Homo-oligomer: A and B are copies of this chain.
Amino acid sequence: MVALSELNGLDLEGFVAALGGTFEFAPWVAKAAYARRPFATVAGLHETLMAIFRAAPREQQLAFLRGQTVLSRRAMTRDSEREHRGAGLETLGPRLAARYGEMNDAYLARFGYPFYIAVLRYSLAANFAELERRLAHDADTELATAVRELFFVTRLRIAAHVEGEGAPLVNGRLSTHVLDTQAGRPAAGLAIALYEEAAGRYHRVTTAVTNADGRTDRPLIGGRPLPIGRYELRFGVGDHFRRRGIEGGDPPFFDIVPLRFSIAEPEGHYHVPLLCTPWSYSTYRGS
């Protein structure tokens, strides 16, 4: 982590070295930015870097993209973060995984550079869908789309490596809250699991248990962008009321309550609470 004020005071070599990882193999971006110091905000620094990239000749932009390895494919297969979330490429099944490889090859053949995407901002299924959608683009539209993804990738890198005033908002948050409206108090000790959709099935991302305030100690997803995609939250409502000794049918009318929703804004705050009795429940996008 480098402070913005420190960055503003570096010499050219130091400045380029400090920002080297932002635009990989493209020191010309940082070099051009050097002249525009000092930067008042971290977001301003990032915007300047992107403005330099956008103003560069098309051939230079394409050269940059050609130099990128197949980021998203690697991310979808080996990336540790992805593995942690449990939805790697193999999740798609052999047929779709092969299809993903073929589409990457087709993309490279069509546009002359590998498929470039801000992999942290997409679920596996959304990444797949994006590749499919972008394959149909013409060259200009697709270049603009790749540069837009570059914007998100480099913004994340800047936010991770430079600290100071005016840091860009790069993280989203997914949270929940369970109220037992039969008892008029938070539902404590209730089991929650979060699933992410891929290839028509739901894969578990994380689990949690509600605390005394009916919330989870940590956000279900936090400290990173929310991957665009479809999700399902599952709440152990039947067990909760069984533990409380409340009659709710045998088997209980509601046992596991699923809430399905989509995330469309990776930097947004999604609060998806559950208000429940043994015989009713409601949910909403909260704040």
Q: A185 CA to B280 CA in the complex, in Å?
A: 11
Whether the pair B258, A262 counts as a contact (CB closer than 8 A) is no
Residue of B nearest to A273 (CB): B286
Say yes or no: A279 contacts B248, CB within 8 Å.
no
A contacts with B, residue count (CB < 8 A) = 37
Please provide the chain A residues from 60 to 115 with a CB less than 8 Å away from any CB of chain B in the complex: none
Inter-subunit contact A262/B257 (CB<8 Å): no
Given contacts A255-B230, A260-B258, A280-B282, contact A214 B184 (CB under 8 A): no
A262 pairs with B251, CB closer than 8 A: yes
In chain A, residues 218-261, which have Cβ atoms closer than 8 Å to a Cβ of chain B? Answer: 230, 248-258, 260-261
B-facing residues in A162-217 (Cβ within 8 Å):
179, 181-186, 213-214
Specify the chain B residue showing the minimal Cβ separation from A234. B260
Partner of A279, one of B181, B230, B251, B281: B181
Nearest CB in chain B to that of A286: its residue? B179
Measured between alpha carbons, how far is A182 from B182 in the docked complex, in Å? Answer: 6
* Interface flag for A127 (CB, 8 Å): no
Q: Which residues from chain B contact A277 at a C-beta distance below 8 Å? A: 181-182, 184, 277
A185 to B: closest C-beta gap in Å? 7
Q: Of B261, B275, B279, which contacts A254 at CB under 8 A? A: B261
CA distance A264 to B238 in the complex (A): 14
In the complex, whether A133 has a CB less than 8 A from a CB of chain B is: no
Known contacts A255-B262, A257-B260: A248-B184 contact under CB 8 Å: yes
Neighbouring B residues of A248 by C-beta, 8 Å:
184
The reply to whether the CB of A266 lies closer than 8 angstroms to some CB of chain B is no
**Cβ of A279 and Cβ of B183 under 8 Å apart?**
yes
Q: A254-B262, A279-B284 are in contact. List 17 more A-B contacts (CB 8 A).
A: A179-B287, A181-B181, A182-B182, A184-B248, A184-B278, A184-B285, A185-B279, A230-B255, A250-B264, A253-B264, A255-B262, A275-B280, A280-B282, A280-B283, A281-B283, A281-B284, A282-B282
- CB-based closest 3 A-B pairs: A184-B279, A282-B282, A280-B284
Can you list 19 A-B contacts (CB < 8 A)?
Answer: A179-B284, A179-B286, A181-B277, A181-B279, A181-B280, A182-B279, A184-B249, A184-B279, A185-B279, A185-B287, A250-B264, A252-B262, A253-B264, A253-B285, A258-B258, A275-B284, A277-B277, A280-B285, A281-B282
